[in-house]
Structure 1
Amino acid sequence: MSLVEAIVLQSLIRETTTVAEWVSLRSIQTREQPRHYFDPEKLEQLVQSIAQHGILEPLLVRPLQTDQYELVAGERRYRAALKLGLAEVPVVIRQLSDEEAVQLALIENLQREDLNPIEETEGVLQLLAFKLEMPIQKIPALLYQMKNTLEKEADAKNNVIPNALSDQEQKIQSVFQDLGLMSWLSFTCNRLPLLNLPNEVLEAIRGGKIAYTKAVAIARVKDDNQRQTLLNQAVENNLSLNQIRAYIRSIKPQPDPQSPKVFVTILHQRLLKAKLWEDPQRWTQAQELLSKLEALLEDD
C-alpha cells in the first residue's frame, strides 16, 4: 500500500458512517508509537473535555484475537480514558494488515500539529525504514549518501546526464512527496543533524520543554556544565533565542589580542578591507613587503 493509499484510507475511516462499537478499554493493546511525549496540560484538557462530553471521535483499532484489539490511531484519547478510569470506549474496528496499521499509525502521528521536530524526524525515519524494509539505523547513512551523490553531480559540469535513481532513492522521494512535509534533501540537511544533539538537549526537545531552534543554539556550547546551566535557565525562564545567543557570547572565551595568531588574522582582514591593489603607489610598497614575507616563508 502506497502512502497516498494509506492517507486516503485514513480519510475514509474518519468519514465513515459506521456506528462505533463499544469495547472494554482493557481489551485494547498499544504498540510502539513514533510519538513519545504528550503535553500534560493538553492531555489534562482532553481529560476534562471527555469527562464532560465523552469521547467524540472513536479510536481506530484492528482485531487481534477474540475480544482483543490493537490501537492504530487515537492514543491521546486512549490515555485520557485510562486517566478517567473508563471501562469502555467507542472504537471503529477495521481489518488492517500489518503494513496498513503501521502506515496509518505513523501518518496519524506525523499529522499532529504538536508533534515536535525530534519526534517528527524519528517518525519519518520509522516510515522510511518500513517502506525500504531495512533497519532504521541505516536510513540516515543512506540519505547522506544520496546528498553526497547529488552534490558531486552538481559539481561535475561535464556530467549533463544525471545518474538514474535506484529503487531505494525512488521510494525515498515518493515517501516525502506523499507526506508533503518537506523534501528529502531538506530533511537530510536540517532534521537529521538534530539527532546528533547532546542527550540532555534532545530530551528537552522531546519533552516539549524548549523550541528546537533554541536547542540547536544551546547545543553549540561545548562545555558540558555551561551547556546544562544555559539549558536549565532557558527552560525555567523561557529565554528568547536572542537572549540565549547573548549568553553564549558572554561565556565565550575572548582571544588574546596580543597573540600572534590573532594579530595575523586581524592584519589579513585589514588588508582585504583596505584594497591596496586599487592604489598603484601603495600597492607597489605593499608588494615589496609581501615579497620579503614570502621569502621568509620559503626559508621554512
Structure 2
Amino acid sequence: MTKRKSLNDITYRETGLQKVPISMIVLGAFQPRQYFDSEKIDDLATTIKKHGILEPLIVRWIPESNKYELIAGERRYRAAKEAQLDSVPIIVKELTDVEALEVALLDNIQREDLNPLEETLGILQLLEIRLGESSQQNVVSLLYKLHNEQKKKSTHNVVGKSQQDVINTVFNELGQIKVKSFIQHRLPLLTLPEDILEPLKKGKIAYTKAKVIAKIKNLSQRNTLLEQAISQNLSLTQIKNKINLLQPSGEKIKPTLKQKGSELFKRLNSSQIWEHPQKQTQLDKLLQQLEALLEEEK
C-alpha cells in the first residue's frame, strides 16, 4: 500500500522560519477549506493571545504584488487577525500552482480540517491542474468514463493511460481515499440539493447521511428529517427507518449488499452452524469464495 505523503515529504526549496507583518500576507487561491466555524476561530484567537502562534504559516512570495500568498494555515491566520497580532511566523516555500494546491490539501487533510465536500472539490481542483483540463466538469466526466471502463461497460478505452497514471498518482500521494470509492461515494455529493449541501459544508452532518436524506423528493419532509438528523444526531439506520415510514408501500429503501453482509455475519457469529459436522465442507467452500473475492481487491 502506498504511504500517504506528508508535509515533511515535500522538499520544495524554502527559507527558514521568520516573522513578517500580518498585513503582508494575502489569502491564497488554493484554499480547499470553504467554511470556517466562527466559534472555533474565536477559541483559537483566545489561545493565540496567550501563547502566540505555535506553528508557522506556509506562504509563497508573489513578486508582482510584493506580498506573501497564504498556502496553509488560514485558520491560524484568521485567528491571528482577530487577536490583533501585528506579525506572524511564516515559512516561505517556492511553489508552483500545482505544488501550492498539494500543500494546502495535505495540510488540511492531515489535520482532518476538511469536510467531505471540501475535500472532494479540492481533489478535483488538483486533478484539473495535473491533467491540464479546462474545467472541473471535464475531470468529473473523465473519472466517470474511467469508472465505466473498469466496469467493462465501455468497448474501447476512452481514458488514455497517461491520464489514468496521473489520476492514480494523485490518489496514491494523498493516500486518503481510493479512486473507485471517490467516484462512487464522493462525486454524487456535487449533485446534492442546496438545502442538503449547506449543512454538509458546515460539517453539521455526515455525507453518508446527507446522501440518503437527499433521496426524499418532498422538500418539507426532507427539511424536517434533516433538522431531526442534526439536532438528535440520528444514526444512518434511524434515518433510513424514518424514510421508509414516509415511502408508499413497495417503495421501501432496500438494504445494500454491505448491510446485508454485515447483518449476516452478525447472525453467523452467534449461530451454532459452525459446530455441525455435516455443514463443514459447505462452509469451507463459501469461505474460500469470499477469500478469493477479497484477494481480487488487493
Q: Hey, what does 1:8 align to over in structure 2?
A: 9
What residue is the counterpart of 2:237 in the other structure? Answer: 242
Tell me, in whole angstroms, the C-alpha distance in 2 between the residues paired with 1:207 and 1:165.
37
- SS of corresponding position for 1:146: helix
Q: CA deviation at 1:4?
A: 5.9
Within the candidate set 46, 51, 54, 1:56 is matched to 54
Are residues 1:22 and 2:23 paired?
no
Secondary structure of the residue that 2:151 maps to in structure 1?
helix
CA contact (8 A) 1:6 1:103 kept: no
Q: Give the AA of the match of 1:21.
A: Q
The structure with the greater share of residues assigned to helix is 1
Distance 1:163 1:242 in 2: 39
Give the aligned residue type for 1:148: N
Indicate which of 41, 44, 66 corresponds to 1:43.
41
Alignment of 1:127 with 2:122, yes or no, is no
Instruction: Note the C-alpha offset of 1:122.
Output: 0.8
Larger radius of gyration between Structure 1 and Structure 2: 1
Q: Conserved in 1, the CA contact under 8 Å of 2:145 and 2:158?
A: no
- Distance change (3 Å), C-alpha of 1:208 and 1:10: farther
CA contact (8 A) 1:39 1:208 kept: no
The alignment-based identity, stated in percent, is 44
Q: Which residue of 2 aligns with 1:218?
A: 213
The reply on whether 1:177 has 2:172 as its aligned counterpart is yes
Provide the secondary structure at the position in 2 that maps to 1:72.
strand
- Stretch moving more, 71-80 or 45-54: 45-54
Structure 1 unpaired stretches of 5+: 257-300
Distance 1:152 1:197 in 2: 27
Residues 164 and 206 of structure 1: CA distance in aligned 2, closer, same or farther (over 3 Å): closer
Distance 1:244 1:85, change over 3 A: same
Aligned amino acid, residue 196 of structure 1 = T
d(CA) in 2 for partners of 1:11 and 1:235?
42
| Deviation of 1:132 (Å) | 0.6
Cα gap change, 1:99/1:255 in structure 2, threshold over 3 Å: closer, same or farther?
Answer: closer
Corresponding position of 2:256: none
Query: Is 2:184 aligned against 1:189?
Result: yes
1:113 paired to 2:108: no
Q: How many pairs were matched up?
A: 245
Does the aligned pair in 2 maintain the 1:7–1:104 contact within 8 Å? no
Alpha-carbon offset, residue 43 of structure 1: 2.6
Change in CA separation of 1:163 and 1:118 when aligned onto 2, cut-off 3 Å: closer
Structure 2 counterpart of 1:71, which letter? L
Does the 8 Å contact 2:26/2:70 carry over to 1? yes
**Could you say if the C-alpha distance between residues 125 and 163 of structure 1 is closer, same or farther in structure 2, counting changes exceeding 3 Å?**
closer
Segments of 5+ residues of structure 2 without an aligned counterpart are 252-298
Alpha-carbon contact 1:219-1:227 (below 8 Å) kept: yes
Name the CA distance, whole Å, in 1 between partners of 2:158 and 2:132.
24
Aligned to 1:141: 141
The answer to whether the Cα contact below 8 Å between 2:19 and 2:89 also exists between their aligned partners in 1 is yes
Deviation per CA, 1:7-55: give whole Å up to 9, x if none. Answer: 6226996xx8x3x322111110112311112233433332222111110
1:7/1:107 contact within 8 Å kept: no
Q: What is the DSSP-based 3-state SS (H/G/I as helix, E as strand, rest coil) of the residue aligned with 2:152? A: helix
The letter for the 2-side match of 1:84 is: A
Deviations 1:94-148 (A, max 9, x none): 3333333232223222323132111111111011011011121211110110111
